[in-house]
A and B are shown apart, each in its own frame.
Chain A
């Protein structure tokens, strides 16, 4: 038995080593779905693995609470599908359950919180692509307004530091300088931003965030790690030990 076992172990370890070599390529039994808000649209990406996208997969959008169907469509050759936030969903402020059916028993789904699309400015400011899996919707909620504020405030706030310094020098009372500053700072703020500037920034953000988006999408597709593979094998041998123990007590 011992010799046989050793022989088996050798064969098995060889197979295992071969398997390790191909692990990075091998994560295609599961289909992945990633959805985010971009401008006023919802973008979904679907893929089996890095090199294999879901073509013609069926995407359906439901109300997460009631199950009412808002939208359905199929993915393109890149596994992408984008659509306007359904008006009915916007009216109801509904969380969206987005499901993907990729055929042959492959399916997945994800939840898109209402705050994510309600807070995303429809046409102007760049919406930060918020990963659906983010466990912290409050943070995502906070992000978008901050980004929008920065755009409006960035240009006017730059000259602020110098006027208070000069006005403070003129009056000669350093104590009071603090009070005039807030009204001065507040007055230039309401100036409405140039739409062309916003469009340019929109483009720039898209370009800058594209790699981040793809990194996030990839991070959501964890290929089985060595820990999990070895852990699984350990489990099998552990279970075998338990079985052997009980069989030996019976016998």
Chain B
């Protein structure tokens, strides 16, 4: 079937040392760089979360003054969203899309490299704002004016960093679309393409559509701050709520940008470990496309309390609830894939199954949030925090971890320590619930979000949640250790790695040769 890739025929491998990483245009190297970067950012963002939960462990202020606490919450989110989750999915895209579609590399390799280093520089800039007078941005990752305009010297740096990240993402998205549209192996029609690649095709369109909107919004913040415009200033005829519309028009598709690749990953893993093709392949494609389309018309559900006309509230409630339908279809299809399959529970499958359960819980709290009068009680409380952490942590992050466990043998050529991986899984899965489930209770009981200290009745659940956080955070060190160990060595992995591999990536040796599919395979 596929012509397995052979060693680089220039007779030498890639350059050694730092030069390799600065000049490589190889999709595998760039994928690796994105993944290493995202792991580092995950730990940094996790450190900020650690500070937050340490402060919230008990009532009273023990560690951080309130202004610094707000920097922690803001930067935790910015780092996790733009530095950990998105780059991880880009890294997976870079590594896997060419191999899944039988292409030798991405369509635009130099732009690919540029996208990565732009991102790295952007984060250097963003993190450096901690050292500036006034500290890092502290207005929440949502950057609402007028509050965000009280940011000190960090403000232009943060905006610039956001522009750079946006440019990096847009270029990456263009690369993905051009690659998938033009470079699929002969015989691989779109409806034969693996679902991970499909999920990224659609994610790329979302990125191109909404990143420029975010750029526009933060540029308006910039001109309001420096050039006396009044986009968001009532004194000059503007309105702070305008920013919220612009931000969330970007922001809602953004959260789907984070989750769709995870959907794609789960759609790869579950069939493999059920030894059965995905149930309802076309429905899965249409479901992802519907979710992406619907994501454009729900943004104001983040703004139900701003004083919205009745018609607006009704429309956004309904459109938001509608997203549950295609999402439900996916969940049912994943379940049906396992049904009458032959299911085994290797680490990738463990993460995919945890995703299935826990993302669904996040989906239910999302459904509750969609309903307006009830949302008046949930909005800006820990109920919202619980919801989005359920869909992002045991959702997107577990999806990414599952992908790493799934493809790591292909990347490194070594099987990893399965026992360690299972320990990582079980500790993570248990602690993530100890961490976030009580936050539903806190929100319903009346605890607002983004506060460094709280009334005494919230103490017990906060303590439980913080213990969950410490446990979850420490468990991730197992993950780091496991990856390092696996890169260094381990049992040799075969080309297929797993019992029932499907897809072109499993036809090349493990580790995948530096150049694969230089001659396009034939797909039937």
A and B form one complex: no
**B interface residue numbers (CB < 8 A to A):** none
**A interface residue numbers (CB < 8 A to B):** none
